[in-house]
Amino acid sequence: MVLSIWGCEKPNELFRAPVVGIEQNNQVPILIKATNIGNVRIEYQKANKSLTNLTDWNKLTDANAFTTNLILRNLHSNSNYRYRVEFENGHYSEWFMFKTFPAAEQSGKFSFIFSSCMREKYLGFNIFNKIEQLSPTFVALLGDQMYGDYDGNLNTIEQYLANDSLRQKMIEDGEVLLSDKTVLQAFRNKYNRVFDINYQKMASSIPMMAIWDDHDFGRDNSDGTYPYKKEARKVFKENFPDYSFVEEDGGIYYKFSITDVDIFVLDTRWHRSPMQNEDGKVKTMLGREQLGWLLDGLKESTSTFKLVFSSVPLNDYGGDTSSGRAGYDSWMGYKFEREKILSFIKDNHIQGILMFSGDQHYPSAHILNWQYPLKPISQFENSIEYSLQNLGTAVFDFSASPLNYKRATGHPLISENQKNPLFSFEIFRAAWGIPKNTIEDEPPVIGSVYGLAEVNTESSPKRISVKFYELNHETLDMVELYHVGIIF
C-alpha cells in the first residue's frame, strides 16, 4: 500500500504513457513509469476478444524512478492487442493499443521509420502524428532522444565540486558522490521534458527500437571516457523497454529478428576511443567484444537482408567536427575499424547488408565496399533501383535526421572519390545538405526528416524500399525527397 505523509492512501498512476518494445519469441516488453512505489501489472487481450491475460506483478521502487518492464507473453503474430496497467490498489490506466510483428522466421512484409535527434526546444511540430499515419511495424530511434548538454547542461555540475577536498575524500573512500546523484536526476529530468504528449501517444502504440548517441549519452562527441556513462545507461533503461542487451552492465547493443530478417543494433559510444585519437589498430568505435559479436552475427546470418543500426553514419561525408576537437565523430574518423568490417564482409562473401543511422542532420544514401562498374537497374530524377546480385558484397548506408532540430550540412563531395571504390559512393543527398561557403548561407530552418524502409521478403524478387521524407514548412506535410529500391 502506498501512503502519503499524512497516513492516507495515495493512489498510484502512470507518470506518462507506456512504451512498447520490440517483440521477440512471441513476447513483448512494455516499460511503464508510475508516480509511486508499489506493485503493478498489465492486463492485455487480443482486440475484439474477451479472454484476458495478465503479466506477473512487478515492484516499482524509487531506485528505478518507479519504472519497470512488464512482459506480455504467448502473443499471436500480426495481431492487434489492447492493454492497460493495473496497480495493486485497484486503479487502472486507460486502454492502449499496439500490433504484434508478422510471423518470425518466415518470409513476410514489415516497415520501419528511422531518424534521430529530438531537441526539446524544437518539439513544436507534431512529427509523431505523421509517423503514426504511416503505420510502421516499428520506429527506430537512432540516438539523441534528448540533449544532455543543451538547454541546461547536466555536465556543468562537476564544475562546482572540481576542487572540493571532500569530493576527493569520498572518491578515496568509494562513496557515491552527491554530484553523481544530481547528474542521475538531471538525466531523468531531461527525458521527462522530451517525452511530450505526442511522443507518448506514438510510443504507447508503435513498438520502439532505440539506441543512444552522443547527446543522450551525455555530451557532444561523447566516448568511452565519459565520466557519467553509468548514469546515462541506467536512465536509458528507465525510459526504453528491455532490449535483451548482449552485455549485462556494459554497452547497449543487441539483436532481434522480424520475419526472416536479422537486425543488429550497435552501441557506438560505450566502448569508443576519443575521436581525436590517431586512427589505427588501437582506436575503436565498437570495442573488441562488440565488433566480434557483429562480425560473427553477420557471418552466421542466413537472412537475405541483414539490417544494421548505427547512431552515426558509415559514409565519408557525414562526420561531425564540432566541439573544436580534431577528428570525426562518425565512422569517417574510425576508418581502420570500418575497413576491418568491410574487409570481413568481402572476405566472407556476405551480401545484403544495409546500415541505417541518424546524426548527420540531412538525408543521404551511399554504397560502400562496391566494385566498378556500379550500375543501377533503373534510374530516374527522384529514384534509383539496384540489384544485390550485381553488387557483390556492397554495403548500403542510409542516414536520416533530425526529427526535431535545426538543419545541418556534411562535408563537400569529393568528385574524384566517386570513381574510387575505396570511398563511399553517394547515391543521394538533399540539396539543402550540400555545404555552403559560409555559415550565413545556411537556411535557418527547423527540420523534420525521417526515412521509411519497407521490407518484403515474400515477393519475387525480394525487395527493400527506402524513402526519405522532409517537412514542407508551407503545407506542414511530409514530402518524399528520394526513393532507393533494392531487389534480390
CA distances from 157 to 144, 148, 186, 208 (A): 20, 12, 9, 31
Asked if 424 and 315 touch (Cβ cutoff 8 Å), the reply is yes
Phi and psi at residue 178, to the nearest 5°: -55, -40
Nine-digit cell string for 253: 547493443
Q: What is the pLDDT of residue 49?
A: 87
For the segment 461-481, the average pLDDT, to the nearest whole number, is 95
Q: How many CB atoms lie within 10 A of CB 90?
A: 7
Q: What is the pLDDT of residue 443?
A: 57
**CA 328 – CA 179 distance, rounded (Å):** 30
- pLDDT higher than 80, residue 165: no
| Residue pLDDT, tens place only, 22-40 | 998 889 999 999 999 999 9
- pLDDT higher than 80, residue 6: no
**CA 422 – CA 261 distance, rounded (Å):** 28
Q: What is the pLDDT of residue 3?
A: 40
Q: State the pLDDT confidence band at 445, using cuts at 50, 70 and 90.
A: confident
Q: What is the pLDDT of residue 437?
A: 65
The fraction of the chain above a pLDDT of 90, given in percent, is 80
Asked if 136 and 482 touch (Cβ cutoff 8 Å), the reply is no
| Residue pLDDT, tens place only, 379-407 | 999 999 999 999 999 999 999 999 999 88
- Show the domains of the chain with their CATH numbers: 19-99 (2.60.40.10), 109-487 (3.60.21.70)
Q: What is the pLDDT of residue 439?
A: 56
Instruction: Write down the H helix ranges in 117-225.
Output: 127-133, 157-160, 165-172, 178-194, 197-203, 214-217
Q: What is the pLDDT of residue 441?
A: 56
**CA 355 – CA 395 distance, rounded (Å):** 7
DSSP state of 51: -
| Residue pLDDT, tens place only, 285-316 | 999 999 999 999 999 999 999 999 999 999 99
Q: What is the pLDDT of residue 172?
A: 54
| Residue pLDDT, tens place only, 223-258 | 999 999 999 999 999 999 999 999 999 999 999 999
- pLDDT higher than 60, residue 442: no
Asked if 292 and 309 touch (Cβ cutoff 8 Å), the reply is no
Q: What is the pLDDT of residue 163?
A: 44
**CA 236 – CA 242 distance, rounded (Å):** 10
Asked if 329 and 214 touch (Cβ cutoff 8 Å), the reply is yes
Nine-digit cell string for 395: 554495403
**CA 290 – CA 269 distance, rounded (Å):** 11
CA 271 centroid distance within chain = 17
Nine-digit cell string for 16: 506518462
Asked if 96 and 45 touch (Cβ cutoff 8 Å), the reply is no
Predicted TM-score (pTM) of the model is 0.93
Nine-digit cell string for 383: 529514384
Nine-digit cell string for 465: 524500399
**CA 275 – CA 283 distance, rounded (Å):** 8
| Residue pLDDT, tens place only, 40-55 | 999 999 998 889 999 9
Asked if 137 and 110 touch (Cβ cutoff 8 Å), the reply is yes
